[in-house]
Amino acid sequence: MTTHEQAFERAEPQAVERRGLHRPSLSGDWWRHLIALAACFIAVFPVLYVASAAFNADQSLGGTNLIPRSLSLENFRELLSPDPAKSQLQSSTSHYLRWLGNSLIVALTTSVLTVLLGALAAYAFSRFRFRGRRLGLLSLLLIQMFPQLLALVAIYLILLRTGDVFPFMGLDTRTGLILVYLGGVMGVNTWLLKGFFDTIPSELDESARVDGATPAQVFWGVVLPLALPILSVIGILSFVGTFNEYVLASALLQSNENFTLPLGLRGYIDKQYTEHWGPFAAGVLLAGVPIMVIFMSLQRFIVSGLTQGSVKG
């Protein structure tokens, strides 16, 4: 046996011991795992409770347990009943599918327009240099200091007067509500998108122009594909926030047919809270399905770094 082989045999057990010292062990970190399990339980408990209430035959809140005594689909049948006479609820509160459709139309339209308009504004602030650029960015930032709720009276009066001239975008219209939502989220989204556009190398724009691409082709074909992660985040946040919004919708929408889902579901627990808790929980459970579908479909864009490695030094 050579000297090198003997040295290797002596060093191998020491290396194994050193590697063994770094092996993960639960003996010292048990409290961290306990906290993680407790946090997961706290996060999942409301969902389990709502699901239990949705499938519970007892419609009262007091009779709802985490594990229902008897499973039933009666709450879903009552919620989706096309004939108000077959429902225990009043006919004025039995338009769940219409409310869900209104919420989807408003939320999807708002999220798409928010991403489009925000990307156009952010690209201009990120790539171009023009007079008033700094003032415009500061103005967008200062506007976000004031919540949209402070302008509720002014928004109501504006839509009231606008409806006299353009009835399709006045009070009690989905178009008017979408325009109000767009005005309230443009500032912060523009800042977020601009910060991401600044990380995209400008050399890509110059290379595309050398190849003969127009400014529109550079924006749509080069910059936007690389910005899909932040566009997905903005779209999801806009969709979820608009889908769950209640205050502005309650002030601007007046007829039952134009209600969004949060505003319509309020009627189930507005006067007799315990009587219609089951259909209300069923409606809330079904309302989470579109959000889950959109989140899962865009998840791959959120976790991927599309700009990494786009320019090699």
pTM listed for this prediction: 0.78
Domain layout of the chain by residue ranges:
96-302
Q: Taking each helix axis from N to C terminus, what angle separates 174-199 and 96-127, rounded to the nearest 10 degrees?
A: 40
Q: Which of 91, 100, 23 is nearest to 289 (CA)?
A: 100
Q: Taking each helix axis from N to C terminus, what angle separates 96-127 and 277-302, rounded to the nearest 10 degrees?
A: 30
Q: Give me the tens of pLDDT residue by residue for the chain, a chain 313 residues long.
A: 555 555 545 555 555 445 544 555 555 677 888 898 999 888 888 888 888 888 877 666 655 566 666 777 888 888 887 555 445 454 444 688 899 999 999 999 999 999 999 999 899 888 888 888 888 888 888 877 777 778 888 899 999 999 889 888 889 899 999 999 988 777 788 888 888 888 888 888 888 888 888 888 888 988 888 888 888 888 888 999 899 999 899 999 988 889 999 998 888 877 654 567 888 888 888 998 888 888 888 777 766 544 443 444 3
CA pair distance 140, 188, nearest whole angstrom? 7
Return the bridge partners of 162, or none.
none
List phi, psi (to 5°) of 100: -65, -40
CATH number of the domain located at residue range(s) 96-302 in this protein: 1.10.3720.10
Contact, 198 vs 123, CB < 8 A?
A: no
CA pair distance 20, 247, nearest whole angstrom? 58
